[in-house]
Structure 1
Amino acid sequence: MSISVGIDKIGFYTPGLYLDMAELATARGEDPNKYLIGIGQSQQAVIPPTQDVVTMAANAASQILTPEVKDDVAMVLFGTESGIDNSKATAVYLAHLLDLSSHTRAVELKQACYGATAGLQLAADYVRVHPAAKVLVIGADIARYGLRTAGEVTQGGGAVAMLVAANPQILALEPVSSYHTADVMDFWRPVYRTEALVDGKYSTNVYLDFFKTVWTDYQQQTQRTIADFDAFAFHLPFTKMGRKGLRQILPEAAADQQATLKAAFEASQEDNRHVGNLYTGSLYLSFLSLLRHGQLTAGNRIGFFSYGSGAEGEFFSGLLQPDFRQGFDDAALTQLLAQRQRVSVAEYEAIYRRQLSNDGRDVRLAVGDDDAPYYLAGRQNQQRQYRHR
C-alpha cells in the first residue's frame, strides 16, 4: 500500500523593511499604475546587509522545527540562486545554525527559480522510501537587478521552509508530474556579477510557453482536465505573470469554475504582492498565500506551476489535507508582514549599496536594528559570521 507524502509544515520569513512601489514609480518618473497594475506589485521587501539566504532560511525554518522534529530530519535540500559560496552548500551552514544532527545530509540545489521544486520532489521520493524520515526543503533568495534598471520593480527577497513527511498535515503530493527543460537565455547571472541579466519580455513568453507545454503533458498523462482542479498556484516573480498564465487555461473551464479559479488566484497572489520576488520561494509563498487567504476545504486539488529561467518548468498537483491550517502559523505570518517598516526610496538605495562586498575584506555589520533570531554579523578571515539570539 502506498503512503501519502507531501508538505507537513510551512514557514516563511522576510526582513522587516519594505519599499512602497508607488513611491518608487514616482521617483523613477513612471506612472504608479505601471507598477501597481501593470506589474501587479504594491510593496517590495528590502533586504538589509545583516540578512542573507542562510539567515532568512534559518528564520523561516525555526518557525516549523521543534526539538522532536529536528531529530527526524534526515536531509536538508536548499534551493537558491543566491548562494554565498561556489563550493560549500548553504544547506551545510543552515544545518549547523539549526543545530541539526551531524548525520543529516545537506545539499544545495540550483536551477534559477526552480530549485525548491527540485528539492520538494527529491524529498518526496526519499520519504516514500524512508517513511519515518522528514526532509527540510528551503527556497530562499534575494532578487537583485540593480538600481534604476528595467528589472528593479521585480526585486524582493525572503525564504520559505517546508517540512516534507509521510501523512502530511497540509498537502499530499500526487505522484504524476510533467517537466520540460530547454537551453534558453532569458535570465542568467554569470559568476562575476552580483545582479542578474534578464530579457523580460522574452522571459515572460518562455514562462507562458512552458506552462502550456507541461499543463498539456500533465493532462495527457493523467486524463484530468481543468474541471478536476479547485485552485492553481504559480511561480510569481511578479503577480501579473501568474495572472497571464491562468488566463491561458481559463477558457477550458465552465463559467462558475472560472470565477472560483480567479478568486483562488487573487488569494494566492496577496502575500507575493507585498513581498516581491523570492525566486525559488515565489511559488511556495503563493501556495502559502492561497492557504492563508483562500476559501479552501479538505480534498481540494491544487495545481502547481514551477518555472526556473534558463529554463526548467514543471506542473504537479496535490490534495489538501483535513488539518492543513495546523501546518502554518497564520497569526505570526500576518504579524510579520504588518510590523515591517516602510523605507524611503533614498533609504532603500542606501541599503541596496551596503550589501556585503565581494572583495573578501573583514567587515563588521551594524546589527542593532535587526531583531531577527538569526542574522549575519559580518565577515572575518573571509568567513561569514552567523549569529543566533
Structure 2
Amino acid sequence: MRRTLSAAAVALAASALTVAAAAGPAAADVPPTDYGKYVSISGPKGLVVGGDWGVWTLQAKNPNATADTQDHLVLNADFLSDRSQLQVEYRTGSTGAWAPAPMNWYQMSSNPAFSAYLGSLDLAGKALYIAPHSALTFQIRARRVPTSAETQPFPIEFSAFLTPALGAYGQGGNFVARADTGVVPLGLTTTIKGLPTTLPADGRSRLFQIHMTTLNHANWQIPSASFFIWQGQKYGSMSGPNACDAEVDVYDAPHHTWHKVGMGAAGVLDETVDLTHWATGPAWDRTVNARITLGAGFKSAADGTVGFGYYPGSGDPDYFWATQQLTSKTIAGAPSCAKPVSGVPTPSSSPTPTGTPSAPSPTPTGTQTGPSATPTSGGSLATTGGGSDAPLLTGLAAALVALGGTTMAVLRRRGRRA
C-alpha cells in the first residue's frame, strides 16, 4: 500500500532537519571531514531487482598510534517496505566463503499501516582489535528480491559505523565515524509511445501509450502512478493545465471505460492512474493506454513536458520514470474546451518478453536530471534534479514524508582520543 502524507510527517521532517543540523561535533577531535580516516564503504550504487549480487567492501581503520580495542563495525540498511526484499551475506576479509548475515531487523515506522524496516549487522559481533596505523576489512554482498510488497523507488542507505556500542533500534549510538552510500533499485524501464512532441490545440483526442518493462520478469508491485503536464516557465502551473484547456484519460480495458486522471504535480495522496486495474499485460511488461485532448486555450512553451511515473513534480528528487517534450500549436477556430472523443485504443503490438533476461551490472545507467527535451526512458528510478519551478518537498523532508511519519532515531557521534 502506498504511503501517505500527513501534517505530522511534515512537522517531523522539519524538526529532524533542525536536530540534524545541530548535532555536529562539539569539542570532538574527529570532524566529519575526517570520517574517512576511520571507516569506509565502497561498492555499486544500484542493484537490479531480481538480479545478481553486488559486493561492498567495508574498512574499520585506526590512524592513531595506539590500538583501538573498543569499537564495533556496524552496517545499517534502511529503509525497506519488506525486509525480505534485501538478502545479505558477509565475510571477513575479501576472500573466502560467504555466510548469511545475521541481520537484526527493526520496524521503524510509527504508522502500523506502513512498513519501513531498518536492518543492522555487527560485522564481527564484538569489539574489534585494530592495531595502530592499520585497518580491518570486511565484505558484504546483497541482492534485491521482488516480493508481494511494493518495490519503492527510493535508495536503500547503507551506513557503516565505527561505534563503541549499539544504540536503540540498531543505530550507531555515540559513533566515532560513519560512511554512507545509496543503493538504488534498478531494472524498471518506462517509455512514452506514440505521442508527438508538438500537438495542435484543436480539441481532438490523440491516443498514446505508456510502456513499462522490468528485467528478470520481476514484479515491482507498483499500484499507481500519475501524469504531470508542465507547460513551461511561461505558462506552467504546479497544478497542471486548466480543466478546460487539457484532459488526459486512461483506458480501463476490462470495463471498456475511460477514466479522467490528474495532470498536476502529484503528492503521495494524489496518484490517479490505477496500474493494478488499468494496465494490461504481465507484471514485467505492462501497457497503459491513454489519450490526451488539448483545447484552444492550451499554451505550452518550448520547455513544456509531459511526465509519467512516481511522484512526478513533487520536488527533489523527482521520481519521473519517463518525460517527453510537449509543445502546442494554436489552431484557429478550435473548440475552446477539451472534449475527449470516445473510442477504443488499438491493442499494443509490443512483444511480450520470453525467457529470463540476464541481469546487467548493478551500476545505475540512464540517470535523468530533470525533464528532458526529448523522449526518454527511466532506466534508473533514483534520479535527482528539480522537475518543477517550485519544489514542494526537498531533501530529508521529502524522504521522511515518504515514510509516512516514520519515527527515526537521531544518530550522535563522540570524539576520538588520539
Point out the structure with the larger strand share. Answer: 2
* Greater RCO, 1 or 2 (C-alpha within 8 Å, sep 6+): 1
Q: What TM-score do you get using the length of structure 2 for normalisation?
A: 0.26
Point out the structure with the larger helix share. Answer: 1
Q: What TM-score do you get using the length of structure 1 for normalisation?
A: 0.27
